[in-house]
Amino acid sequence: MSEIFLTCMKMAIYRFGLFLFIAVLLPRALPGGQEQQQRGEAVIRFIRDPDPAPEFAVKGIDGSTVNLAAMRGKVVLLNFWATWCGPCRMEVPDLVELQKKYQDRLQVIGLVIDDTDEDAVRKFAKRYSINYPVAMATDEMRFQFGGVPALPTSFIIDAQSRVVQKHIGLRDPELYEMEVRALLGLPISARVETFEDTGEIFLKHANRASELPGVDMTRLTPAQKTVALHRMNEDACTCGCQYTLAQCRIYDSACRVSRERTAKIVAECASGASTPNQNSPNQNAVPAQGAPPASHP
């Protein structure tokens, strides 16, 4: 069975999966992404007060400098990916087409992580006719963008170099195109809504969140909940992620350490035995610089 046939089969499966996704799952809200209401109206969502995108300048696989500052004035789709990642490989043709279609006003950038073989990346780019800059991302870049919990992860950046949306995992290419067109002021068949970043985009905003993944605070009074959230945003998680408990819950909802520690805080607050930890070593601290550990893929 030829490799071309296998590739075609993969794309067919992918398209069929997208059809099922659009037909069955889109009627439900997708947090931080696109929604489809029962009346059939599509909705795309952007951050209400977007943060500036972290600046970077790295050497591309072709030897040129990939500099985000040089892209100002264009919409940027910043795609963190790896050659070994199946969903990443599947979306490359769509990103190539998107770059081709909006080449004068859009810049797709591929940042490779968890993949150290630059020659293999270069061969992959040539084989798939990638028409946008590709560079090897540093651990610092990965951390500055709030951590990359899964691949692919894409950031949508407006012409003012502000991060307006983040998508984790394989997405319908039509969603990307609608977002690009909306940011370019072009007609779209969707309504645009805005939302506040409570850590979904940048983990530093986790202190804005009133709910955290896997943390049941329904039995707490409003005052107790305030105390609990305060502690979760002060205390550091000890799993090695270098994040607060609140940030870790958002970054890795499967983390057993932060799940058990936040549950204990909730129990303490519910019993009236908890007060804000005035001696917390993490009080008013920001996450330490460095890459998230291997335990958070």
Q: Which residue from 78, 102, 73 is spatially nearest to 160, judged by alpha carbons?
A: 73
Could you tell me the two tokens for 32?
């931080």
Residue 88 among the catalytic residues: yes
Let me know: does 231 contact 276? Beta carbons within 8 Å: yes
Residue tagged active-site, from 88, 237, 239, 255: 88
- What's phi and psi for 268, nearest 5 deg? -65, -40
Query: Can you say whether the dihedral through the CA atoms of 221, 226, 232, 234 is positive or negative?
Result: negative
Residue tagged active-site, from 8, 85, 255, 269: 85
Q: Is the peptide bond before 152 cis (omega within 30 degrees of 0)?
A: yes
H and E: helices and strands count for the chain? 8, 11
How many other β-carbons are positioned within 10 Å of the β-carbon of residue 21?
Answer: 14
Let me know: does 241 contact 252? Beta carbons within 8 Å: yes
Q: Rounded to an integer, what distance in angstroms lies between the CA atom of residue 124 and that of residue 19?
A: 28
Let me know: does 108 contact 146? Beta carbons within 8 Å: no
Q: Rounded to an integer, what distance in angstroms lies between the CA atom of residue 69 and that of residue 230?
A: 36
Q: Rounded to an integer, what distance in angstroms lies between the CA atom of residue 62 and that of residue 99?
A: 18
Residue 255 among the catalytic residues: no
Distance of CA 127 to the CA centre of its chain: 27
Which sequence positions are flagged as catalytic? 85, 88
